[in-house]
Amino acid sequence: AEFTNNETGEIKSQTVFMGDFPLMTHKGTFVINGTERVVVSQLVRSPGVYFDSSIDKTSDKDIFSAKIIPSRGAWLEMEIDKRDMVGVRIDRKRKQSVTVLLKALGWTTEQILEEFGEYESMRATLEKDHTQGQDDALLDIYRKLRPGEPPTREAAQTLLENLYFNPKRYDLAKVGRYKVNKKLGAEAPLDAGVLTVEDVISTIKYLVKLHAGETETVGDSGTSIVVETDDIDHFGNRRLRSVGELIQNQVRTGLARMERVVRERMTTQHVEAITPQTLINIRPVVASIKEFFGTSQLSQFMDQNNPLSGLTHKRRLSALGPGGLSRERAGFEVRDVHPSHYGRMCPIETPEGPNIGLIGSLASYGRVNAFGFVETPYRKVVDGQVTDEVDYLTADEEDRFVIAQANAGLNDDMRFSEARVLVRRRGGEVDYVAGDDVDYMDVSPRQMVSVATAMIPFLEHDDANRALMGANMMRQAVPLIKSESPLVGTGMEYRSAVDAGDVVKAEKAGVVQEVSADYITTANDDGTYITYRLAKFARSNQGTSVNQKVIVDEGDRIIEGQVLADGPATENGEMALGKNLLVAFMPWEGHNYEDAIILSQRLVQDDVLSSIHIEEHEVDARDTKLGPEEITRDIPNVSEEVLADLDERGIIRIGAEVVAGDILVGKVTPKGETELTPEERLLRAIFGEKAREVRDTSLKVPHGEIGKIIGVRVFDREEGDELPPGVNQLVRVYVAQKRKITDGDKLAGRHGNKGVISKILPIEDMPFLEDGTPVDIILNPLGVPSRMNPGQVLEIHLGWLASRGWDVSGLADDWAQRLQAIGADQVAPRTNVATPVFDGAREDELAGLLQHTIPNRDGDRLVQPTGKARLFDGRSGEPFPDPISIGYMYILKLHHLVDDKLHARSTGPYSMITQQPLGGKAQFGGQRFGEMEVWALEAYGAAYALQELLTIKSDDVTGRVKVYEAIVKGENIPEPGIPESFKVLIKEMQSLCLNVEVLSSDGMSIEMRDTDEDVFRAAEELGIDLSRREPSSVEEV
C-alpha cells in the first residue's frame, strides 16, 4: 500500500498483511475450523430490465410495468396505470409522472413530445405534469424522496446523480449491461455499469409500445427487436452466483468498512506519523470473510455421507440465502418446473418439504458461462444432417431454435430416419417437423436430469414423485464394510465415483512400485515418483467411515487417470452405495404390511449390510477462576477397575472396548471457595495434592453408545499447538462401532421404495427357490401399483438376467438383433449391466432374455419367461400356491439407523426455570406426555397416574427426590408436593402486582417455600445428577 503526502510529494510504501483467506481444495470444498464446508451456488434474478403485465382488479385493464434492476443500487420502476398515465417510482418511494424524471434528466417538453408524441399515454402524462423546466422537476423529485428536508437544486441534482449515475453507488455489472443491451437493442459497452439517459428513454419507449400493442421495435443498430413481457422464472432471467462472486461481494463490504476506518484515521492522525500500516485496520475484511464462511446460509457443512452426496452437494443450486428468496415468500411459480430448466436444472432432484423447488441440482451436462447463466450442449444439425459439432446454448438462445431429442433415429449417413421428426420449440411445445427444419439435437437422453437421478435405472418407468425420493435417498446411503457395485446400473457409476473425488487417481502413467494399506508409490514414465497417501478409517462429517482400499498390485502398468484405490462406497472405481440382494415380491404373514421389510438372518451373520460409524468426542482443560483444570488419571472417588484402560496421562488406550458411562479422558476441575493460607500451601507442597478440593469432570461415553477406541489426538499449548484462549490442553477421542443391520433400520431401493425392517427371519424360514437358494429380502407387492414405480420390478428382472447371464447369438428377433448390434448377445453370469435413463432396456428385450438365460447345473431355468418363479415356504417346505416375482434388486441401507434414535431416561437434567425434564435425545430428555395423551388417561379416570405425571415425574422438586429415595430404600412412595411451575406462575402473578394466597382444602394458608439446598444435597448423595448438562454443540441449545 502507498501513502502520498500531497503537500510534500512524499510517498510512503509498505506491505500490508490483509489476513488469511480460505483456499479451495482440489475437491471444490473449503476447510473452515477443521471441518469441510461447501459454498452452494445461488440462483438469483439477473440484473437487467424486465417488463411485466398484470390485470387491474377494478377495470380489468392490462397494466404494464418495467423494472431496471441493478446488481447493486436503487431500482427504477415504471408503470402505466388504469388511467393510462406513465408513472415512475424512484428507489421504491412514491410514484411520480415519468415526464418529471425526463425533465430532471435535462429533456424539454418539446423533446418529449417529439420523441413520444405519437403515444396517447405519454401525451396524457405530460398534460398532467405541472413542473416547469429541469430545476422545478429536480426539486419535485427531491421533495418526494426526502420529504421534510429543505430542497435545493444542488442537493436534488447530487441525489439523482448518486442514485443511478455514480459507479460507487450503482452497478449493473457486466451481466446486467448485457441483458439491458439485449432487451432494448442498445450498444453500450459491457463495462458501462451505470445507467445512461438513453437506457431510461429506451425503457420508456419499450413500455409505451408494449402498452400500445406494438409487437416490434428497432434497436440502435437497426436490428428488429420483439416487444414482449418477460417471464421472471425463465432460466434466461435467472443466473448463478457461484463461490467466487459470493466471496467477492463479502470482500467488497469488508473493504468498504475498512475504507471508512482509513478515512477517519487520516483526519485524526498527524501527517508526519502516518504510515499505511497505522492507517489500515484489516479487521473488517477478515471479519466479513469469517462471517461468510462461518455463518452464511450458503456456506454449508458438507454432506459426506457417501461420495454421491458430496458430489451432489457441490452441484446444488439454491434460490435461498442473502439476496435471494425466503421460504415463506416464495410462491408456486418460482418452485415449479419450467421448460427452460431442460438440460440446466434437474426437474426431479429437489427436497421434499418447505424447500421444494427452491433448491435444485445442476443437470448432468450443464455448465455455467461467464455471465452466470447455465448453458446446455446441443449437436448442430445442418440441412438435415447431424454433425459432431457441439454448441452450448443459454436458455434464451435456445428459444430461437427447433431441437430434436437425443434418441431420434438416424441413418448411417447421420440423417434422420423418420420423415417427420419429433422436436420441441419455444416454451416446451412439442411438434413434428421435416428433418431439414431441425436446428439442433440433444447430446444425450440423460441431459435433462442430475447425476443422482441419472443413476436410477428404468427412471422412465417411475412416477416423478417416487424418482425424487429415490434420488434423495441415494444421498443418504451409508457406506458398507464391503461395497458392491450394482448388477443393474445406468452407466454413470464410474464417472460419478471418479468425479466425486473420493477415489485415488493416478496423476501420471507408469508402473506401481510399492503398495501398502497406507500408501501407493508409482514410478512414472517421465522418471518421477509419486506417493499417494490413503485415508484409513477417518471420520466423515456425518460420522460414517472414510476408508480407502488399494485395487492395484505391485508391478501393474497404470495409465493417467486410472483408479488406484477405492474410497467409501465404491468398488473398482464404480459408485457402489448398496448391495445386490435376492428379492421376492410377496406378502408374508402380514409382517411386511405398510412397506415393512423382512430380511434373512444371513445378511446379519455375513455382515452383508454392516457399516462402520465413527464418533468424535473431545474435552478441553481450561483455566478457571479457581485454578486450571487438569487432565489426569488421579480422579477422586473412582475405583481402580474403572481406570484400568486409562494410561498414565488419564487418556484411554487405543483398542479399548468402551460402553456408555466409561471414562474416556480423566479430568478434574478445582471447586475450592477459600483462598489457601501459606501454612496450607506448605503442607500441600510437602504432602502432595491429595487433599485438594476438586470435582470429577471427566469425558465419559454418552448414553447408548458403545464401540472401540481407534484414535486419540492430544493438543497441548506447551508443545506449541494453537488453541483457543483459556484452553491449555485439548483431547479428541475417536470411537468406532460396527453396526449390523437390525429391525428398525431403514432400507430403500433406487425408485423411492423405502421401508423399515420389521423382522429378521432365520435363513431356514425364508422362502427358497427350487434349487434351495433362500431369498434375502421379502417386499410387499402392494408397494408398487399405487406408488407407480414399476421401475423396481423391471430392475429385479434385469438383475436376475445379469446374475444368470444369457446367450442370444444367432437369434433373428428384433430385440435380439438390437442386443447383437451393441455386442450384448452373450453375457456371462454375474456381469454388471447398464440401462441408461430414457434409453435403456425395453420390455420385449427383458421378456425375450428371460427365455434365454444360461441354465443352472441341472439344466433348469428357475425363473419362468413371465419373470416369476416357484417358491417354497421355508417353514413347511410346501410350495406357495402361485408363482412369485423374484430377482436381484440393489438395496441401500440409509443413515436413519435405529441405534441413533433409541432413547430412554430414568432421571436426568431439568430445565432451569420450570424444573421440568428437558426434551430430546441430545439433551438426554424425557418423553413429553402431551395434551392428547392426558385425554386418554382422563377417559379412564386414572387420577393417580395423572397426578404422578404432573408432580413427581415432572417438576415437584422435593417430591421427586423423596420418591427416588423411597424406591432405593424399598419404602412406600410418599405424597407428592407442589409442582415448581405452580410456584413460577405465582411469581409471575406477583410481578403483575397481584397478591396471590394459596389455601388448603380446609382454608388454611399454605407457605410457599423456595427449594431447599438440602434437597440437592440429598439428591447428590443418592447419585442423581440434577445439573444441566452443557450442550456439546450449538445445535443442541
Identify the CA nearest to 551 among candidates 513, 498, 515, 507: 515
pLDDT band at 637 (very low <50, low <70, confident <90, very high): confident
CA dihedral 985, 991, 993, 995 (to 10 degrees): 40
Average pLDDT over residues 827-854: 94
Average pLDDT over residues 24-28: 94
Average pLDDT over residues 239-245: 94
Whether the pLDDT of residue 884 is over 70: the answer is yes
Interatomic CA distance for residues 293 and 40, integer angstroms: 11
Whether the pLDDT of residue 611 is over 80: the answer is yes
Count how many Cα atoms sit within 13 Å of the Cα of residue 692 in the half-sphere of its side chain: 23
Q: Quick count: other Cβ atoms within 10 Å of Cβ 227?
A: 16
pLDDT band at 481 (very low <50, low <70, confident <90, very high): very high
Average pLDDT over residues 433-437: 94
Identify the CA nearest to 803 among candidates 752, 862, 847: 862
Amino acid residing at 822 = I
Q: Which of 271-285, 508-522, 890-904, 965-979 has the highest mean pLDDT?
A: 508-522
Whether the pLDDT of residue 223 is over 90: the answer is no
Identify the CA nearest to 402 among candidates 420, 418, 417: 420
- The neighbouring-strand residues paired with 709 are 735
Reported CATH class of domain 746-898: mainly beta
Answer yes or no: are the C-beta atoms of 767 and 774 closer than 8 Å.
yes
pLDDT averaged over the chain?
91
Whether the pLDDT of residue 1036 is over 50: the answer is no
Interatomic CA distance for residues 30 and 35, integer angstroms: 8
Minimum mean pLDDT range among 27-36, 579-588, 855-864: 855-864
| DSSP classification of residue 416 | B
C-alpha separations of 661 from 705, 714, 793, 897 in Å: 9, 21, 47, 22
Query: Comparing 905 with 832, which gets the higher pLDDT?
Result: 832
The pLDDT assigned to 129 comes to: 86
The C-alpha angle 508, 512, 515, rounded to 5 degrees, equals 125
The DSSP code sequence of 229-273 is ---TTSTTSEEEE-HHHHHHHHHHHHHHHHHHHHHHHHHHS-GGG
Interatomic CA distance for residues 240 and 377, integer angstroms: 18
- The neighbouring-strand residues paired with 549 are 566
Identify the CA nearest to 144 among candidates 67, 206, 197, 88: 88
Query: pLDDT tens, 122-133?
Result: 888 888 888 888
Query: pLDDT tens, 910-937?
Result: 888 888 888 888 888 888 899 999 999 9
The pLDDT assigned to 1033 comes to: 41
The pLDDT assigned to 673 comes to: 58
Average pLDDT over residues 692-710: 90
Query: pLDDT tens, 299-348?
Result: 999 999 999 999 999 999 999 999 999 999 999 999 999 999 999 999 99
Query: pLDDT tens, 119-158?
Result: 888 888 888 888 888 899 999 999 888 888 888 989 999 9
pLDDT band at 898 (very low <50, low <70, confident <90, very high): confident
β-strands 367-368, 374-382 pairing: antiparallel
- The neighbouring-strand residues paired with 631 are 667
Average pLDDT over residues 444-456: 96
HEC sequence for 868-879: EECCECCCCCCE
Interatomic CA distance for residues 427 and 431, integer angstroms: 12
The DSSP code sequence of 596-626 is -EEEETHHHHTTTT-EEEEEEEEEEEEEETT
Angle between helices 133-145 and 153-164 (to 10 degrees): 70
Q: In the chain, pLDDT over 90 holds for what percent of residues?
A: 73
Interatomic CA distance for residues 861 and 605, integer angstroms: 29
Whether the pLDDT of residue 874 is over 70: the answer is yes
Query: pLDDT tens, 550-606?
Result: 999 999 999 999 999 999 999 999 999 999 999 999 999 999 999 999 999 999 999
Name the grid cell of 887.
Answer: 430377482
Whether the pLDDT of residue 680 is over 80: the answer is no
The pLDDT assigned to 303 comes to: 95
The pLDDT assigned to 389 comes to: 96
Interatomic CA distance for residues 893 and 476, integer angstroms: 8
Name the grid cell of 720.
Answer: 506449541
CATH, range 611-739? 2.40.50.150
The pLDDT assigned to 1035 comes to: 39
The pLDDT assigned to 1018 comes to: 64
The pLDDT assigned to 291 comes to: 95
The pLDDT assigned to 1016 comes to: 59
Q: Quick count: other Cβ atoms within 10 Å of Cβ 367?
A: 12
Identify the CA nearest to 301 among candidates 1031, 1035, 924, 1036: 1035
Average pLDDT over residues 64-86: 92
| DSSP classification of residue 525 | T
Sign, CA torsion 505/510/512/514:
negative
Name the grid cell of 487.
Answer: 448388477
Whether the pLDDT of residue 241 is over 80: the answer is yes
Which ranges of 269-331 does DSSP label H, i.e. alpha helix?
276-279, 283-295, 307-314
Query: pLDDT tens, 265-296?
Result: 888 888 888 888 888 999 999 999 999 999 99
Please state the domain extents for the chain.
47-230, 611-739, 746-898, 905-1036
Interatomic CA distance for residues 313 and 317, integer angstroms: 9
**Domain 905-1036 maps to which CATH number in 3.90.1800.10, 3.30.390.10, 3.10.310.30, 3.30.479.10?**
3.90.1800.10
CATH, range 47-230? 3.90.1110.10
Answer yes or no: are the C-beta atoms of 558 and 506 closer than 8 Å.
yes
Phi, psi of 155 (to 5 degrees): -60, -40
Q: In the chain, pLDDT over 70 holds for what percent of residues?
A: 96
Query: pLDDT tens, 773-819?
Result: 999 999 999 999 999 999 999 999 999 999 999 999 988 999 999 99
The pLDDT assigned to 684 comes to: 73
Query: Comparing 481 with 1010, which gets the higher pLDDT?
Result: 481
Interatomic CA distance for residues 735 and 613, integer angstroms: 8
Enumerate long-range contacts of 364-370, CB under 8 Å, 24 or more apart. Answer: 364/444, 364/446, 364/447, 364/449, 364/450, 364/451, 364/454, 364/492, 365/443, 365/444, 365/447, 367/392, 368/41, 368/240, 368/242, 369/394
Identify the CA nearest to 827 among candidates 845, 856, 852: 852
Query: Comparing 1027 with 78, which gets the higher pLDDT?
Result: 78
> Which H/E stretch holds residue 982?
helix 980-991
Answer yes or no: are the C-beta atoms of 345 and 447 closer than 8 Å.
no
β-strands 41-45, 35-39 pairing: unpaired
C-alpha separations of 787 from 134, 286, 462, 475, 490 in Å: 68, 52, 9, 21, 22
pLDDT band at 1032 (very low <50, low <70, confident <90, very high): very low
Answer yes or no: are the C-beta atoms of 903 and 921 closer than 8 Å.
yes
The C-alpha angle 936, 940, 945, rounded to 5 degrees, equals 80
Answer yes or no: are the C-beta atoms of 293 and 32 closer than 8 Å.
yes
Whether the pLDDT of residue 178 is over 90: the answer is yes
C-alpha separations of 828 from 812, 833, 944 in Å: 21, 11, 71
